[in-house]
Amino acid sequence: MRLESKVAIVTGAAGGFGSEIGRIFAREGASLVLADINHRAAESLANELKAQGTKVVAVSVDVGDEKQVYAMVNRAMSEFGQVDILINNAGMGRGARIQDITLDDWNQLLRLNLTGTFLCCKAVIDHMIARGYGKIVNMASICGQTARPVGVDYSASKSGIIGITRTLALQVAPYGINVNAIAPGPVATQIFERNWPKETVDKLKSTIPFKREGTPRDIANAALFLSSDEAGWITGEVIAVNGGAFIG
């Protein structure tokens, strides 16, 4: 098993990407901290995985709240004694014209997507440095790499995550810590379909050369690879998982 004896924190664990990452990591032998603001859904997934023999706890956390983030990491340490992997998956998105985005909208999205990623990285990094080992995978987006018909707040947050990924990777490489990002293209999840206007969804789908949307499994497979020792010499990279949207 590729993650045997490893402990992983997965934020946004109740969502489409997060739940699939949790299931695949459990299959590969990881112990898990499933973190989500929707504690009931995270607990449901934890119970499913416990029934299969996985060591797992569910934690309620708002990743934009520093105290809650540090409490999440402390819970991981008290339960398992280490944190080997951090998957920064919690986030939100929407499509809107800049004229329709209020300052409160902007602050809410940046707080969750960008500040949340920053806080979670900050909370685990000293522990990883002390152990000389760690894998951090941040969830960026194709919308942080190229222009897409989405809100500027969303694009800004995902571009910022790419910046965090590359700079942090440079800072912590001497300590044996890998920091990478995944940049998904359009992926079929309930949140994606619910939060984006149909015309935006259709435009995004039209950029994919493969005749299908991505699935949460596509993203989870990339997260598994970057979290495994197979990716030991990869850091500061943004892995595009987008069905070839860049070449379409």
Q: What are the domain boundaries of the chain?
A: 7-241
CATH numeric code, 7-241: 3.40.50.720
Active-site residue, from 70, 133, 154, 175: 154
Please tell me what DSSP assigns to residue 2.
T
Q: Which residues pair with 182 in a beta bridge?
A: 139, 239
Residue by residue, pLDDT tens for the chain (248 residues) are: 999 999 999 999 999 999 999 999 999 999 999 999 999 999 999 999 999 999 999 999 999 999 999 999 999 999 999 999 999 999 998 778 899 999 999 999 999 999 999 999 999 999 999 999 999 999 999 988 988 777 899 999 999 999 999 999 999 999 999 999 999 988 866 666 666 677 767 776 777 888 777 899 999 999 999 999 999 999 999 999 999 887 74
Catalytic residue list contains 154: yes
Rg (CA), the chain: 17
Q: How far is Cα 10 from Cα 35, in angstroms, rounded to an integer? A: 6
CA distance 4 to 62: 28
Q: What is the pTM of this model?
A: 0.94
